[in-house]
Each structure stands twice: as structure tokens, then as C-alpha cells.
Structure 1
């Protein structure tokens, strides 16, 4: 049994990490968040120590490192995006391996720094790249790799996940903290595209706003028009009023079904990490390079056939 600490216990994604720790037969020993709305712990790990001051959390973690039976093995990080690097570095200094939510860090340069910290500490940093474990995505990857297609696949990726007015008032609406909507909700999709279609060859941004973004990505095996949004008005008419989230991948005009099967992917990720099959810093680099470019790119009009259909609607 491994002992875990968790940073960011009051966040949306934290319960999936708590359940993954429990479901893999391990112990959540200690948790931290500035907010104290963490009653979910009672139903998953009621004996977990909890702190709202980082200094007390860190001091207690140091104490646990001196007790052989209570020594922390892993720190799971679910804090806001802009704190990931600091929390990863602190966890490595504690002598723990790290499991961090997406996006790992905002820039490739910070990945390089983490590689240096890994070497100094002798510990590993793992990223939750959950779509690499999704059955539909794995089947698609095998299909793409087995086909002898001479032309590139034509792909439309659309992801709309409705968020209320609170979103722009939270840290997620602050580009300095979330790194923008494409990074915050899209980074695992860019990782999936690289995982399935190979190395990225071209990256063009067509549209950016606080709530949506769109562009064109060309990979070794695919030309991808993408659109991401947290604005519910972008939901297709047939979905509005019925669902708050819409995911679609069209490949050469055919829909790839992957709307289900997301709830247990964190547990699968933990199982892989604990068996030395997790995804580390080198695996995370391509999607971080992609979102770093998108974040800094100036939007431009696309050439014929490269703009996502939703972009034309936005320009009307």
C-alpha cells in the first residue's frame, strides 16, 4: 500500500483522484486546499488529515517523511493550473513521486526545468493524460496505425462544455492562471490527436476569445479543424436543453463515438502509474508545445477548407 498526499482537495477533479487512490488499494494520508468545502473526503477517506494552510500541510508532510510506516510515496496535484509547477517542485523536494492534472505546466521550458528536478530528486512526475486510456481512442489508434492510407485523414474536433457566468469570475477565466480556454479544456484533446495521428507539423489559430477558440492542426496522418468552447450557445440545436456537454470527432465524415467511458479513466491512469506504465514529462511535451503556441499566436483567417464550420458562424 502506498501513502498519498493531495493538493487541491476542494477542486472539481479532486474526487476522481481520491477514488482512484482508494480503488487502487492505497491510502490518502493528508490533503490540502485553501477552501474547506471538502466533505467528499468523508465518503472516500474519512481518516485523511486536512489542512487549509500550506505551511501546516508542508510541515506535517515533512513529519510523515520521518515515520517509516507513514512516509508519503506520492503527491497528487489538483490545484489551479498556474500553481502546478510550484506544487510539483515542492513535492519532489519532499521526496515523493508526483501525479499531476492537466495541463502539467504552460511551457516546454518548464518541462525542461522539471526534468532537472527529477534528476536531482530521483523521483518521477506523471501527467494524467486520460484519453490515452479510453477504449474508443485506443481502438482508433490501432485502426489508424494499421491502415495503409496515402492521403491524410480529414478530422473535425468539436468540444463544447457549458460553463455558467461563474467561470469568467473564477481563476479559470483569468488567462494568467488558467492559460486560456484552449489550454484549460483542450490540452488533453491535443495530446490525444498527437497520440493517434503522430507528430504535429502545422499549427494555425483562427479564433480566440475568453470563452472559445478554434484553429487548424496538421499531423503526420491527419488535417484537423478544431473548435473548443465553454459557451452553451455554441451547443448544437439538437443538444441544447438536453445536455451541457458536446464532444464530436469526425474522421473522413464518420463520427467516432467516445461520449461515454470517462468516469473511470483516472483510476486506470493510477493503475498504470503504479505499475510503472504511466505517462511522464516526455509524453506531456507535445501537447504543452501545442497549447503554448496557440496561447501566443495571433488569430488569422484560414485558407479554404482549414477553418472549422463553427468559425464561419461566429464571423457572421
Structure 2
């Protein structure tokens, strides 16, 4: 049984990590969050220690590390994006391997720094890239690999996940903390595209606002038009008023079944990490570089050949 600490226990994604720790037969020893709305712990790991001050959390963690019986093996990080770097470093210096939510960090320079800390501590950083374990993604990857032509696949990625007014008032709405829409809700999709279609050759941004982002990516094996949004007004008429989320990926005009199969992907990710097959800094570099470029880009005029259809419709509302 491995012993875990959890940083960022009150957020949306934290319960998936708690359940993954439990479902893989391990123990959540201690959790931390500045907010105390963490009652979910009672139904998953009621014996866990909990702190709302990071200094107290670290003091307790260091005490655990002095005893081989209680020593922590992993620190799981679900804190706001802008805190990932400092929390990862703290976990490594505790003598733990670290499992961190996406985006791992905002820039490749910080990835380089994390690699240095890995070498100093002898410990490893793992990134949750759960779409790499989704059956539909793996099936598509196999299909692309089996295609012996040099033709590029035409892909259209649309992800609209409606959020209320709270979103822009939270850290997620602050680009200094979340790094913007494309990074916060899109980085795992960009990782997925690289995982399936290979190296990125072109990266063009067509639209950026505080609620949506869109552009064109060209990979070794695909041309991708993408659109990401938290604005319910962007939902297609077929789902508006019925569902708050619309997720669509078409490949050469064929809709990919992508509505199910998400529930246990964090547990699968933990199983792979514990088995020594987790995704590390090297694996995360491509998607970090992609969103770093997107954030720095000046939007280019949208054209019918490369722009996502939803972008072309924005000016017609």
C-alpha cells in the first residue's frame, strides 16, 4: 500500500484523485486546501488528516517522512494551474513522486526547471493525460498508424462546456492563474491530437476571448480545426437547453464516438503510474509547447479553408 498526500482537495477534479487512490488499494494520508469544503473525504477516506494552511500541511508531511512506516510515497496535485510548479517542487523535495493534473506547468522553461529538480531529488513527476487511455482514442490511434498512405486526416474538434458567471470571478477566469481558455480546458485535447497524429507542424489562432478560443493546427498526419468555449450561447441548437456540454470530434467527416468512457480514466492513469508506465515531463512537453504558442499568438484572419465553422458564425450573430 502506497501513501498519498493531496494538494488541492476542494476542487472539481480532486474527488477523482481520491477515488483513484482508494480504488488502486492505496491510502490518502493527508490532504490540503485553503478552502474547507471537503466533505467528500468522509465518503472516500475519512481517516485522512486535513489542513487549510500550507505551512501546517508541510510540517505534518515532514513529520511523516521521518518514519519509514508513515512516510509518503506520492503527492497528488489538484491545485489551481498557476500553483502547480511550486507544489510539484515541494512534493519532490519531500522525497515523493508527484502526480499532477493538467496543465502540468505553463511553459517549457518551467518544464526544464522541473527536470533539474527531478535529477536533484531522484524523484519523478507524472502528468494526468487521461485521454491517452480512452478506448476511442486508442482505436483511432491504431487506425491512423495502420493507414499506409501519406494523406492527412481532416479533423474538427469542438468542445463547449457551459460555465456560469462564477467562472470568470474565480481563478479560472484570470489568465494569470489559469493561463486562458485554450490552456485550462483544451490542453488535454491538444495532447490527444499529438498522441494520435504526430508532430505539430503549424499552429494558427483565429479567435481569443475570455470565454472561447479557436484556431487551426496541422500535424504530421492531420489538419485540425478546433473550437473551445465555456459560453452556453455557442451550444448547437440540437443540445441547447437540454445539455450543458457539447463534445464532438469528426475525422474525415465521420463523427467519433466520444460521449462515454471518461468515468474511470483517472483510476486507469493511477494504475499505469503505479505500474511504472505513467506519462512524465517528456510526454507533457508537446502540449505545453502548443498552448504556450497559442497564448503568445496574435489572432489571424479566419478563412474558410482553416477556420472552424463556429468561428465563421461568430460574426453573424
- CA deviations on 1:236-270 (whole Å, 9 max, x unpaired) are 10101111111111111000111111110000000
- Which residue in 2 is equivalent to 1:168? 168
Cα separation, 2, equivalents of 1:240 and 1:113:
44
- Which residue in 1 is equivalent to 2:15? 15
- Residue 109 of structure 2 aligns to a residue whose secondary structure is helix
Q: TM-score normalized by structure 2?
A: 0.99
CA RMSD of aligned residues (A): 0.6
Cα separation, 1, equivalents of 2:25 and 2:235:
40
The question of 1:94 aligning with 2:104 is answered no
Cα separation, 2, equivalents of 1:266 and 1:163:
23
Cα separation, 1, equivalents of 2:80 and 2:209:
20
The structural deviation recorded for 1:304 is: 3.9
- Which residue in 2 is equivalent to 1:47? 47
How many corresponding residue pairs?
Answer: 316
- Which residue in 1 is equivalent to 2:132? 132
- Which residue in 2 is equivalent to 1:211? 211
- Which residue in 2 is equivalent to 1:235? 235
Cα separation, 2, equivalents of 1:95 and 1:135:
34
Cα separation, 1, equivalents of 2:101 and 2:272:
15
Alignment of 1:157-306 (within 5 A): 157-306=157-306
- Which residue in 2 is equivalent to 1:152? 152
Cα separation, 1, equivalents of 2:303 and 2:165:
34
Q: Which runs of 4+ in 1 moved over 3 A?
A: none
The structural deviation recorded for 1:149 is: 2.8
The structural deviation recorded for 1:164 is: 0.3
- CA deviations on 1:143-190 (whole Å, 9 max, x unpaired) are 110012332111100000010000000000000000000000000000
- Which residue in 2 is equivalent to 1:72? 72
- Which residue in 1 is equivalent to 2:56? 56
Determine if contact 2:302/2:312 at 8 Å carries over to the other structure: no
Cα separation, 2, equivalents of 1:266 and 1:188:
13
- CA deviations on 1:193-235 (whole Å, 9 max, x unpaired) are 0000000000000000000000000000000000000001111
Alignment of 1:106-121 (within 5 A): 106-121=106-121
- Residue 76 of structure 1 aligns to a residue whose secondary structure is strand
Unaligned ranges ≥5, structure 1: none
Cα separation, 2, equivalents of 1:178 and 1:292:
12
- CA deviations on 1:78-118 (whole Å, 9 max, x unpaired) are 00000000000000110000000000000000000000000
- Residue 16 of structure 2 aligns to a residue whose secondary structure is helix
Determine if contact 2:3/2:71 at 8 Å carries over to the other structure: yes
- Which residue in 1 is equivalent to 2:34? 34
Cα separation, 2, equivalents of 1:304 and 1:126:
39
Determine if contact 2:302/2:311 at 8 Å carries over to the other structure: no
The structural deviation recorded for 1:303 is: 4.0
